[in-house]
Amino acid sequence: MTTYKGINGFAVQSVATDPSPLDEGQVWYNNATYAFKLAGVTTVGTWAAGGNLGTARKNLAGGGTQTAGLAFAGIPPGSGVTAATEEYDGTSWTAGGNMGTARATLSGCGTQTAGLAFGGDTANDGSNTGITEEYNGSTWTGGGTMTTARRALTGCGIQTAGLAIGGYPPSNTASAATEEYDGTSWTNGGNLNTARYYPGAAGTQTAGLAFGGTPGSGQLTSTEEYDGTSWTASGNLNTAREGLAGAGIQTAALAFGGYLGPASPELQAATELYNGTSWTSNPTGLATRRNALAGAGTQASALAFGGNPTTAATEEWTGPGSPVTQTITTS
């Protein structure tokens, strides 16, 4: 008789907790819930509730991964700005070291232990800053000041190779400017083809992605790819929006949330996946519609947190094709 062990080379394990990470096709018996389980594969991406931020806020920034996320700055309930930093462990947020300069509408990138924050508005009054700070997992220290002070920008990359994109500079017009950070100082890179503020981003300094945003009137669907020198137009988003968040890399990115006015509803839950050429809409979106949120992680495993209206909500994304735990039943 053919057996599971004969086919796979090992017997079905009996365990008290479900294994992690999962391998597609893996089967086990959970002796705590008295159920046989299987590592199946998702056919569509799904969002699930995660632990709430300790401080609800909008216009924040972040970095890291789904199990090691970083959230910093933003606007808490009221009209001021915050310097608060929080770290996510895959379940809950805990307080980290405060930033040296409180601010909002900034951008950030990097990891939980090597984060980067740059730009923003230090008083929630339409002012602009070029202040840069670096996080080591405990404390923030000053970095090189941006060439152009600005707010409502986006960014991607790592602490020693960051990319700042677009925004709203002192000229009060949408910016096409790109700057590159080497861990010490900022230098000018190639300009976007379409100036914009409040766009989303993903990727690295030499393989960046910018999408959506607004040029000052209406919202954009346009997407651009950066090769370390110049930007090239690529496939459009299916849903135009500004104030959205992103995760992933240039060839496997995720866009979620945002604002589209005067559509109804104006706040968006839409989630789209990018394959390096085109965007595909996921059948389900965020549980909490919002813009001015932050994101982290990859196309397969992302994190959405904070946003407008001012919220502490965190959601965890599992992308299509990812192994998930399924209970084996009979019928």
Q: What's the CA gap between 193 and 179, in Å, rounded?
A: 15
Within a domain: 329: no
| DSSP result, 19-82 | -SS--TT-EEEETTTTEEEEEEE-SS-EEEE-PPPSS-BBS-EEEE-SSSEEEE--B-SSS--B
- CATH code for the domain of 198: 2.120.10.80
Asked if 29 and 167 sit in the same domain, the reply is: no
Asked if 15 and 91 sit in the same domain, the reply is: no
pLDDT of 63 reads 98
Asked if 102 and 68 sit in the same domain, the reply is: yes
pLDDT tens across the length of the chain (331 residues) = 555 455 555 578 888 888 877 776 789 788 988 887 877 666 799 999 999 999 999 999 999 999 999 999 999 998 799 999 999 999 999 999 999 999 999 999 999 999 999 999 999 999 999 999 999 999 999 999 999 999 999 999 999 999 999 999 988 899 999 999 999 999 999 999 999 999 999 999 999 999 999 999 999 999 999 999 999 999 999 999 999 999 999 999 999 999 999 989 999 999 999 999 999 999 999 999 999 999 999 999 999 999 999 999 999 999 997 667 778 876 5
Asked if 37 and 184 sit in the same domain, the reply is: no
Asked if 159 and 279 sit in the same domain, the reply is: yes
Each residue's pLDDT tens digit, 98-148: 999 999 999 999 999 999 999 999 999 999 999 999 999 999 999 999 999
Asked if 77 and 34 sit in the same domain, the reply is: no
Within a domain: 162: yes
Within a domain: 116: yes
Asked if 21 and 52 sit in the same domain, the reply is: no
Asked if 135 and 187 sit in the same domain, the reply is: yes
Asked if 150 and 210 sit in the same domain, the reply is: yes
Within a domain: 328: no
Within a domain: 326: no
pLDDT of 150 reads 97
Asked if 151 and 203 sit in the same domain, the reply is: yes
Whole domain around residue 22: which residue ranges? 4-41
Within a domain: 323: no
Asked if 297 and 177 sit in the same domain, the reply is: yes
226: which DSSP letter?
E
pLDDT of 1 reads 54
Within a domain: 299: yes
Decide if 55 contacts 82 (C-beta within 8 A).
Answer: yes
Number of domains into which the chain is organized: 2
Q: What's the CA gap between 16 and 135, in Å, rounded?
A: 38
Would residue 34 be called left, alpha or beta, if left means φ above 0 and alpha means ψ between -120 and 50 degrees?
Answer: left
Within a domain: 330: no
Q: What's the residue count for the chain?
A: 331
Vertex 153: Cα angle to 172 and 111 (nearest 5): 160
Closest CA to 159 of 133, 130, 139: 133
Asked if 26 and 171 sit in the same domain, the reply is: no
